[in-house]
Amino acid sequence: MIEKLKKLDVGLVKENIDVKNLTTFKVSSIAKALVIPNDLDSLITLLKFLKSEKIKYKVIGQGSNLIFVNKTFNGVLIRLDKFNKLEIKDNNIIIGAGYSLMACALKLSKLGFKGMEFASGIPGSVGGSIVNNAGAYNSSMSHIIKSAKVLTKDYEVKIFTKEELGFKYRSSFLQYKDDYICLEGEFILDKGISENILKTIEERKEKRFNSQPLNYPSAGSVFRNPPNVSAWELIEKLGFKGKNIGGAQVSNKHANFIINTNNATGKDIKKLILAIKKEVKKEYDIDLVIEQEFVE
């Protein structure tokens, strides 16, 4: 398979790659290959090959919400690192799916664009953040996006408007379409005063540092907040703070964070998440929605 991938000449191919270096949880799992396509044509050629050969694959971003459960991933990972354009025309800004959301938010803020401050602490890719409608501080991608360019399962490139993307709290239409790939987004941002915008970012950065366990590998908040209550409150009331399975632990600093304290496995993390979910359902009859995705 590796030799065939290399002969396709569609981009960088890495064999037996450890996803520990591709995800924020820093959990080890060996994938058969990682491919970084050169461009759209290369991506399409790659996808056609993988489907014709019935090879398992997954498109990933910065790995900030992925939990690889097993010691191996018997397939190909695809990262859109080369899809990293940033085009600015007045208030319209086009950003490639592979662009780091944090880096993009900081760059645009320095240029005096406001509206992306919320994203300065979200360690994901722009594409993944559109798909999952990433957000913070009462804002999200759905507040600033105009449209997204998407590759469909039939290898057609289509533009989906904000309305067609079907945004909801931490989700979009694309989240339920595994065979659709977000290529780029078009955003509308107003101009502001860069000093004021950067001050807001710094204040929020300090607040996160004081309230979240940023010194440990994690994937951010584990559960979405249900109506009228914070997930961390429910978890804390049940006494889960500090509880661990293997190297996975519920943070003592923030109960809605699970951290990798000592070489946690994907199975450790999954077991702990499901244990919390089960107990919250039993005690409060609330079915917590998991923010992260289990990759198996």
The structural domains of the chain, with segments of one domain joined by +, span 2-79, 86-195, 213-295
The verdict on pTM exceeding 0.75 is yes
Q: Which of 3.90.78.10, 3.40.50.2300, 3.40.710.10, 3.40.50.300 is the CATH number of 213-295?
A: 3.90.78.10
- Asked if the model's pLDDT at residue 88 lies above 90, the reply is yes
Q: What percent of the chain has pLDDT over 70?
A: 100
Which residue of the set 147, 170, 218, 251 is catalytic? Answer: 170
Q: Report the CATH architecture of 2-79.
A: 2-Layer Sandwich (3.30)
- Reported as a pLDDT band with limits 50, 70 and 90, residue 122 is very high
User: Is 178's pLDDT higher than 90?
Assistant: no
pLDDT at 99 over 90: yes
Active site residue 170: yes
Which of the residues 125, 172, 221, 251 is marked catalytic?
221
CATH T-level topology, domain 86-195: 3.30.465
Q: Specify the long-range contacts of residues 111-115, CB closer than 8 Å, at least 24 apart.
A: 111/194, 112/191, 112/192, 112/193, 112/194, 112/197, 113/189, 113/190, 113/191, 113/192, 113/197, 114/189, 114/190, 114/191, 114/192, 114/197, 115/139, 115/143, 115/144, 115/187, 115/189, 115/190
| 65 pLDDT higher than 90 | yes
